[in-house]
Amino acid sequence: MTKVNTYTPFLMVLLVLGCGAAAAPFSSAQQYARLVEEGKQEATHSYHQEAEEVWRSVSARIPSLDTAERAQWYLARADYLQFGHQFAAALDTLERVEATGMLMSSALLMRARILLTLGEVERAATACQQLRGLAPVDVWATCELEVKGRAGELKLAYEGLRQLADPNTTNASAIGLWRRQILAEQAHLLGNYEAALNWLQSDNYAAQPVVMQKQIIDVWLLQKRPQQALSQTTECPAGDALLPDSLIVRFARAELEADSEFTCWRELAAERIYIRELRHDELHTADLAYYHAYISKDAEAALYWARLTVSVSREPFDLALLDAAKEL
């Protein structure tokens, strides 16, 4: 899994501020939460070092804080831990949030998504069910329908989510954007690629967050439209302008499948993967597996990194990556 973005940036708005919670003064805990969120971006990973220093300086005092502040600290800490693949520790920390009786909706929503990442569908369903009566109906319904899709009822789940959402009217809210991403994933898995692109708003590719840009390129490649992917960029970036590796390897694959005379993206991807492998970078295993499955066509390396990925994350596209590695 690539730097487990268990939550898209728009869903994290709910978790930082508290789903359904009234607005509160900007606290130290919220500042820590924002460091955690900003540190997820490729160009600002250093914020996570700062966040860790902040945590070490305050963690001993957190149990003595008032209940609301304590819940905010633990919720942000759980997010930091899940991003670093420390899922067991993240789930334990969420128990501390839940013990306060505060921010329950946000804690349960994070718990459900972590459990889905781990492939623990029944436990994720329980967390979603516990949201009833705590979160707005569109939140718990979206949570339950995502889980239903993972439990083998993909068509029913997709139709249920379609009734909650309209691709033309769900852009303003964090919940709408989150639901749109789930709808795109489900449409993709059902083979309804045009619907997936519609939910992802591929016509406005540049305005979408990276997690959705990845989904858009994946669909275009499935449709055998590598030139459509390559048309989203004019040239390879360099230095501080580098894109996340997850996009670099996808553009490299598009370049290869377009039989392009240019090799810029493939050369850049090779450099990035070489660095990741030297570090044995276990936060980028999906990117490493993707590169070897689709670009270098190195069966041994693809299988090695894909197995590492699914040992941490059992999301549908992680499992598909393992299947692609096995087919080499």
For residue 239, the model assigns a pLDDT of 58
> Could you tell me the two tokens for 136?
């707005």
Contacts 24+ apart (CB under 8 A), 44-50: 48/80
Helices (H), 151-231: 154-164, 174-189, 193-200, 210-222, 226-230
Please state, in angstroms and rounded to a whole number, the distance separating the CA atoms of residues 240 and 245.
13
In contact, 250 and 282? CB cutoff 8 Å: no
- The tens digit of pLDDT for each residue in 140-158 reads 999 999 999 999 999 999 9
Indicate the SS3 state at residue 6: coil
For residue 236, the model assigns a pLDDT of 78
Indicate the SS3 state at residue 198: helix
Cα separations (Å) of 165 from 146, 175, 284? 13, 10, 32
For residue 241, the model assigns a pLDDT of 64
> Could you tell me the two tokens for 45?
């990973």
In contact, 85 and 311? CB cutoff 8 Å: no
List of the chain residues with pLDDT < 50: 2-11, 13, 16-18, 20-26, 170
For residue 16, the model assigns a pLDDT of 47
Please state, in angstroms and rounded to a whole number, the distance separating the CA atoms of residues 50 and 29.
14
For residue 166, the model assigns a pLDDT of 60
Run of H or E residues at 141: helix 137-150
For residue 27, the model assigns a pLDDT of 56
